[in-house]
């Protein structure tokens, strides 16, 4: 199973041989999802959301976009590479996208213009769908916040990672996926927002599988909307 990153010092990640990334846990890796060719893409604005100002607690207008493989989106990510090159997992997202990996790519961006601007993107999430027996499920591959947010307890903006996950849960609910799975070391964060560790032993280990089952989707969505006032 591939790995997700929210804050760069607390998540495992797939080793990137092109950049020599060392933050891996080989004993925990087990890539079980294959490339999918039947996911529909379209570069489009999806819906409005809100983030939160860390100091004032006031809501900040934001939007969720789904990226496609158009020339404009490829150029946008190429420009973003220079700005985000010091983040832990943007290059992995960029590589998957550039190589045409048939994942879903969502972006959370500030503003209300309904057009995606690389200067306003605050988080990116890559996820895929797969099958366990006859059940559909989503696997979160990578979640990366922008450089001023990632690994920064004094970031002026709160919620970029959690709202990106909101997009994944919303997608999973709409498409009747039985669960969302991810693999991370930020155990307390995921337990706090409602994801369930594989077991109590796993929850005490550096690496742990987490999941959110379909019966918990509505509660997760409701809690995020209430927390960030949208």
Question: Counting beta carbons within 10 angstroms of the beta carbon of residue 169, is it exposed (0 to 12), middle (13 to 18) or buried (19 or more)?
Answer: buried
What pLDDT does 43 receive? 59
List phi, psi (to 5°) of 221: -60, -45
List phi, psi (to 5°) of 51: -110, -165
Q: Which CATH number characterizes residue 133's domain?
A: 3.40.630
Tokens, residue 136: 């559909």
Residue 21 resides in a domain: no
Question: Counting beta carbons within 10 angstroms of the beta carbon of residue 200, is it exposed (0 to 12), middle (13 to 18) or buried (19 or more)?
Answer: exposed
Residue 183 resides in a domain: no
Low-confidence ranges of the chain (pLDDT < 50): 1-42
Residue 96 resides in a domain: yes
Within 13 Å, how many C-alpha atoms sit on residue 189's CB side? 16
Q: What is the DSSP string of 55-95?
A: TT--EEEEEEEE--S-HHHHHHHHHHHHHHTTSSSHHHHHH
What pLDDT does 151 receive? 78
What pLDDT does 115 receive? 82
Residue 12 resides in a domain: no
Residue 178 resides in a domain: no
Query: Using one digit for the tens of pLDDT, what is the confidence trace for 198-209?
Result: 888 777 887 889
**Domain range spanning residue 72?**
26-172+221-228
Helix (H) or strand (E) holding 133: none
Tokens, residue 193: 């927002």
Q: How many domains does the chain have?
A: 1
Tokens, residue 154: 């004094």
Residue 86 resides in a domain: yes
Residue 119 resides in a domain: yes
Q: What is the dihedral of CA 210, 216, 221, 222, to 10 degrees?
A: -130
Residue 14 resides in a domain: no
Three-class SS of residue 229?
Answer: coil
**Residue 130: C-alpha distances to residues 5, 96, 220 (Å):** 20, 17, 21
Query: Using one digit for the tens of pLDDT, what is the confidence trace for 95-107?
Result: 999 999 989 999 9
Answer yes or no: are the C-beta atoms of 96 and 128 closer than 8 Å. Answer: no
């Amino acid at each position: 199973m591939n790995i997700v990153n929210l804050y760069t010092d607390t998540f495992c990640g797939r080793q990137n041989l092109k950049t020599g990334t060392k933050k891996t846990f080989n004993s925990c890796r087990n890539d079980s999802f294959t490339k999918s060719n039947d996911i529909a893409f379209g570069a489009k604005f999806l819906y409005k959301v809100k983030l939160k100002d860390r100091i004032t607690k006031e809501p900040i207008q934001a939007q969720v976009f789904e990226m496609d493989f158009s020339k404009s989106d490829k150029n946008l990510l190429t420009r973003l590479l220079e700005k985000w090159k010091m983040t832990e997992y943007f290059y992995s997202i960029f590589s998957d996208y550039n190589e045409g990996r048939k994942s879903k790519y969502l972006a959370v961006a500030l503003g209300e213009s309904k057009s995606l601007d690389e200067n306003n993107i605050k988080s990116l999430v890559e996820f895929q769908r797969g099958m366990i027996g006859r059940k559909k499920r989503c696997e979160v591959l990578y979640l990366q916040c922008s450089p001023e947010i990632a690994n920064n307890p004094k970031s002026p903006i709160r919620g970029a990672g959690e709202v990106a996950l909101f997009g994944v849960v919303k997608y999973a609910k709409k498409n009747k996926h039985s669960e969302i799975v991810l693999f991370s070391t930020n155990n307390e964060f995921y337990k706090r927002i409602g994801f369930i560790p594989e077991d109590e032993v796993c929850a005490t280990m550096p690496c742990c599988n987490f999941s959110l089952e379909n019966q918990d989707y509505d509660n997760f969505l409701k809690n995020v909307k209430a927390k960030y006032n949208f």
